[in-house]
């Protein structure tokens, strides 16, 4: 914690209140007795958790970046700290913790090869705090400072002139910055400017030369308007009696400086999330991810922030001026405690933070617009009769075979581009064939049949009271986001399930399957168009990062990842506010009991491991009963694995039985996704169950035995999503289960579990039909009583009502 003695030496004030330092537990500040005055920053945060940046390639200045992802190439960056960012909430001092976090980020980015400049506000607020204290002391109120705050509040203070506050606060502000940066062995330099410094050619050249020399020496310039000598501002009470220098001065200063220095990026931090299309806080206000110069007419500006008089309109004008000069701009929130610690690094990484200003408007809709279009069309889709949704799916099934040449041609193009970049297992996933398209078509027709009894199905009917009836019916979830890698066959499957369940669908496929995904999406929209619902399924083709898509919590209701375990884990980590359906790993086990059939064991092990090694339902660990070691059955298993070129890793217990063993497994919790597996020995069925509970992923696990009692105990005790007896783990599949297709396999404990088909994409709502009843009617003084009678279930179709 920053000691009061150091804070007093910088501010002249013995104590502070409302400092935001406590909001940043990653940083602590305390005195260094060897220097005076001095701050020591202890970065508790582990550097391994902070994103590092590669040194960007230099680029010719003159044209701003067109897309957020290009911000990673920014070499020279200006960070503008607005008054609301620098000052505390009570406007009588600096937000120390917030500043410390910002300094840490600037140092991190600077150390990775980028040139950093800071344009800061805060001198007026810092000076106000010092002058107030001096006035109180001069009025002989030292006793009041020790006797209680109530007397302090009654003291009357004169109106403080802004330029005097700036003069008193500038040195302390700079001393604070210098102390913070010194702890990272980073040197800073202070530069005070006025508008005249830009109007005078010689002064502008001098300023330019000074800044370039500082940057050449890897010094961070800290620039501020010289508020002590600027012309008097118009009276304003933003700082509770202090006439504030217009915040527009620092906005325009940052923009001018960025263009003058040919900066690649200007980051303007304020106390709002970014630019909204209407005043923030209004019901229909939407945060704009990207703003284009031609969109000014669509913006309605609200009131200014709590400090400064420029407001968002001044920031936008300055940003557009900088953009025209070739500097990219992002306006973001620098005050929110949950994001301040990484807002600058996130922006430089190209993440979707704040509002990005771009001169290049994309030809198609933004992902936000696509989501809104999908939701609107999805509601229409859900209102269709079941037969109509079934017709759409059947048409899509026909198109898969009728247009197979077109599909396979696009897939061949993708395969040719991917052959040198993808592993054989990933290439197999990417590849389509006539037989695979025929299987897809058959699966879609199964979904079409099941869609006849999906949306609007009554699950429960209850007569709550006389002429008051309640129904629980199935309804779509809403907007689904499906993210998939190298699996173009996933697109028609998921599309059919979304159509059957009346859900809107947003698809994000891997770039390795771009051509195949495009044609398959066109076919899905062609099928939907027969009932005017083509927008219900959208393919995200813009350069959206997956992490950014996972932040659309107000627009997306469920995320379904289809791909590697790393992809699933990344999405689960990024989607903090959106449910994720799926599994991060498919660590499937086959346990061969000592009473197993030789033929069944060989067939099941071969199929579970070798049929499709990259699948999530492939066997990864083979558990063998100890009594089978050195038996013909065990020898045949080993010979079969060797013939199939399966690399075997020995578990610790298995290795102890061998003189010369295969490579010992590094971890018993490994998903190989290839022709590799682990073999481990167990003493009993119970030990096998315990092993699976400890090292498995609750996906699919198999027992091979002829003992029915042993098998039933295995099936009952194991809590995996799929448990099989004498059957291959590869049966864990929506198509093989008769679901037509699946959106994935879930290992979650709630909602859907196992292969998730049509039923897993539905939720429920409660419909109550009455004739004016109120809860008061059923109170002790009321005239009605509850019946709660279960009624026969009669189905409800869209637009229809049931009758009692």
β partners of residue 745:
755
Three-state SS annotation for 697-763:
CCCEEEEECCCHHHHHHHHHHCCCCEEEECCCHHHCCCCCCCCCCCCEEECCCCCCCEEECCHHHEE
133-153 pLDDT, tens digit per residue, is 777 777 655 555 555 555 545
Which strand (E) or helix (H) includes residue 547? helix 546-549
Q: How is residue 789 written in tokens?
A: 């009678």
425 pLDDT above the threshold of 90? no
Counting Cβ atoms within 10 Å, is residue 57 exposed (0-12), middle (13-18) or buried (19+)? exposed
Picking from 692, 635, 681, the residue whose alpha carbon sits closest to that of residue 654 is 681
Axis-axis angle for helices 123-138, 162-182 (nearest 10): 110
Percentage above 90 pLDDT, the chain:
56
131 alpha carbon, distance to own chain's centre: 45
Residue 26: which region, alpha, beta or left (left: phi > 0; alpha: psi -120 to 50)?
Answer: alpha
- 102-118 average pLDDT score: 96
Which strand (E) or helix (H) includes residue 125? helix 123-138
382-416 pLDDT, tens digit per residue, is 999 999 999 999 999 999 999 999 999 999 999 99
pLDDT of residue 529: 96
Q: Among all chains, which residue has been given the structure tokens 């083509």?
A: 534
37 pLDDT above the threshold of 60? no
By three-state DSSP, how is residue 17 classified? coil
Q: How is residue 799 written in tokens?
A: 């637009």
320-359 pLDDT, tens digit per residue, is 999 999 999 999 999 988 787 899 999 999 988 999 999 9
Percentage above 70 pLDDT, the chain:
84
251-281 pLDDT, tens digit per residue, is 888 999 999 999 999 999 998 899 988 887 7
760-789 pLDDT, tens digit per residue, is 999 999 999 999 999 999 999 999 999 999
What average pLDDT is seen over the chain? 84
Q: How far is CA 803 from CA 97, 174, 453, 473, 773, in A?
A: 64, 77, 19, 15, 19
Q: Among all chains, which residue has been given the structure tokens 């000069």?
A: 325
pLDDT of residue 683: 97
Which strand (E) or helix (H) includes residue 415? helix 404-418
Count Cβ atoms below 10 Å from residue 91 Cβ, excluding itself: 20
By three-state DSSP, how is residue 272 classified? coil
Residue 252 gets which letter from DSSP? Answer: H
Residues in contact with 338: Cβ distance below 8 Å, sequence separation at least 6, in sequence order: none
Indicate the Cα dihedral angle 678, 683, 688, 689, nearest 10°. Answer: -160
Residue 540: which region, alpha, beta or left (left: phi > 0; alpha: psi -120 to 50)?
Answer: beta
705 pLDDT above the threshold of 50? yes
By three-state DSSP, how is residue 636 classified? helix
Q: How far apart are CA 387 and CA 188, in angstroms?
A: 71
Residue 534 gets which letter from DSSP? Answer: G
Residues in contact with 309: Cβ distance below 8 Å, sequence separation at least 6, in sequence order: 233, 234, 236, 238, 244, 246, 247, 248
53 pLDDT above the threshold of 50? no
426 vs 238, residue with greater confidence: 426
Q: At 407, phi and psi to the nearest 5? A: -65, -45
End-to-end CA distance of the chain: 70
Strand bridging mode 220-225 / 265-270: unpaired
Q: How far is CA 801 from CA 10, 15, 458, 473, 804, in A?
A: 74, 69, 11, 12, 10
Q: At 218, phi and psi to the nearest 5? A: 60, 35
Counting Cβ atoms within 10 Å, is residue 231 exposed (0-12), middle (13-18) or buried (19+)? exposed
pLDDT of residue 20: 35
């Amino acid at each position: 914690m920053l000691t009061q003695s150091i804070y007093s030496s910088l501010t002249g004030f013995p104590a502070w209140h409302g400092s935001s330092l406590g909001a940043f537990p990653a940083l602590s500040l305390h005195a260094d007795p060897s220097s005076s005055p001095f701050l020591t920053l202890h970065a508790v945060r582990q550097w391994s958790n902070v994103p590092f940046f590669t040194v960007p390639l230099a680029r010719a200045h003159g044209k701003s970046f067109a897309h957020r992802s290009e911000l990673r190439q920014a070499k020279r960056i200006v960070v503008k700290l607005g008054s609301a960012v620098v000052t505390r909430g009570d406007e009588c001092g600096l937000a120390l913790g917030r500043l410390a976090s910002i300094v840490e980020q600037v140092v991190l980015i600077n150390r990775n090869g980028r040139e950093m400049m800071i344009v800061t506000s805060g001198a007026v607020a810092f000076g106000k705090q010092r002058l107030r204290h001096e006035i109180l002391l001069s009025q002989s109120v030292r006793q009041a400072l020790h006797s209680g705050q109530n007397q302090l509040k009654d003291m009357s203070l004169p109106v403080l002139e802004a330029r005097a506050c700036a003069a008193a606060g500038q040195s302390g502000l700079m001393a604070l910055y210098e102390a913070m940066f010194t702890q990272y062995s980073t040197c800073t330099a202070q530069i005070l400017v006025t508008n005249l410094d830009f109007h005078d050619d010689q002064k502008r050249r001098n300023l330019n030369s000074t800044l370039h020399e500082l940057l050449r020496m890897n010094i961070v310039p800290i620039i501020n308007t010289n508020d002590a000598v600027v012309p008097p501002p118009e009276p304003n009470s933003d700082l509770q009696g202090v006439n504030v220098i217009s915040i527009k001065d620092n906005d325009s200063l940052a923009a001018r400086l960025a263009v003058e220095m040919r900066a690649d990026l200007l980051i303007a931090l304020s106390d709002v999330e970014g630019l909204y299309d209407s005043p923030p806080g209004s019901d229909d206000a939407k945060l704009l991810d990207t703003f284009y110069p031609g969109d000014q007419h669509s913006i309605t500006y609200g009131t200014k922030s709590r400090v400064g008089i420029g407001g968002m309109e001044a920031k936008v004008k300055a940003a557009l001026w900088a953009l025209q000069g070739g500097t990219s701009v992002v306006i973001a929130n620098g005050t929110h405690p949950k994001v301040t610690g990484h807002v600058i690094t996130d922006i430089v990484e190209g993440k979707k933070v704040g509002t990005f200003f771009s001169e290049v408007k994309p030809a198609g809709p933004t992902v936000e617009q696509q989501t809104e279009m999908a939701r609107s069309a999805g509601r229409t889709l859900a209102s269709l009769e079941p037969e109509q949704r079934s017709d759409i799916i059947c048409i899509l099934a026909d198109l898969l075979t009728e247009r197979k040449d077109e599909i396979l041609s696009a897939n061949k193009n993708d395969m040719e581009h991917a052959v040198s970049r993808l592993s054989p297992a990933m290439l197999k996933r990417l590849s389509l064939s006539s037989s695979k398209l025929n299987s897809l078509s058959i699966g879609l027709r199964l979904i079409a049949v099941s869609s006849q009894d999906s949306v609007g199905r009554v699950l429960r009917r209850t007569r709550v009271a006389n002429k008051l009836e309640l129904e629980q019916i199935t309804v779509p979830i809403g907007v689904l986001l499906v993210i998939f890698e190298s699996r173009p066959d996933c697109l028609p499957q998921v599309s059919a399930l979304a159509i059957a369940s009346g859900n809107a669908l947003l698809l994000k496929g891997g770039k390795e399957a771009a051509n195949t995904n495009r044609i398959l999406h066109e076919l899905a929209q062609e099928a939907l168009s027969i009932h005017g619902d083509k927008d219900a399924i959208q393919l995200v083709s813009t350069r959206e990062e997956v992490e950014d898509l996972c932040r659309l919590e107000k627009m997306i209701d469920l995320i379904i990842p289809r791909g590697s375990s790393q992809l699933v884990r990344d999405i689960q980590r990024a989607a903090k506010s959106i449910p994720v359906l799926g599994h991060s790993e498919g660590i499937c086990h086959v346990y061969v009991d000592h009473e197993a059939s030789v033929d069944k064991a060989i067939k099941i092990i071969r199929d579970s491991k070798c049929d499709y090694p990259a699948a999530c339902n492939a066997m990864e660990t083979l558990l063998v009963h100890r009594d089978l070691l050195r038996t013909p059955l065990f020898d045949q298993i080993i010979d079969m694995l060797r013939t199939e070129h399966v690399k075997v890793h020995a578990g610790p217990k298995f290795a102890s039985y061998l003189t010369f063993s295969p490579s010992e497994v590094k971890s018993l919790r490994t998903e190989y996704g290839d022709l590799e597996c682990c073999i481990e020995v167990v003493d009993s069925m119970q030990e096998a169950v315990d092993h699976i509970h400890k090292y498995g992923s609750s996906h699919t696990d198999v027992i091979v035995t002829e003992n029915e009692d042993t098998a039933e105990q295995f099936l009952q005790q194991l809590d995996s999503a799929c448990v099989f007896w004498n059957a291959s783990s590869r049966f864990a599949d929506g198509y093989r289960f008769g679901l037509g297709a699946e959106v994935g396999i879930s290992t979650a404990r709630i909602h859907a579990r196992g292969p998730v088909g049509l039923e897993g994409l539905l939720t429920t709502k409660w419909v109550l039909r009455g004739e004016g009843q109120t809860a008061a009617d059923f109170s002790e003084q009321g005239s009605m009583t509850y019946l709660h009678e279960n009624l026969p279930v009669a189905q409800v179709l869209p637009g229809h009502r049931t009758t009692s």
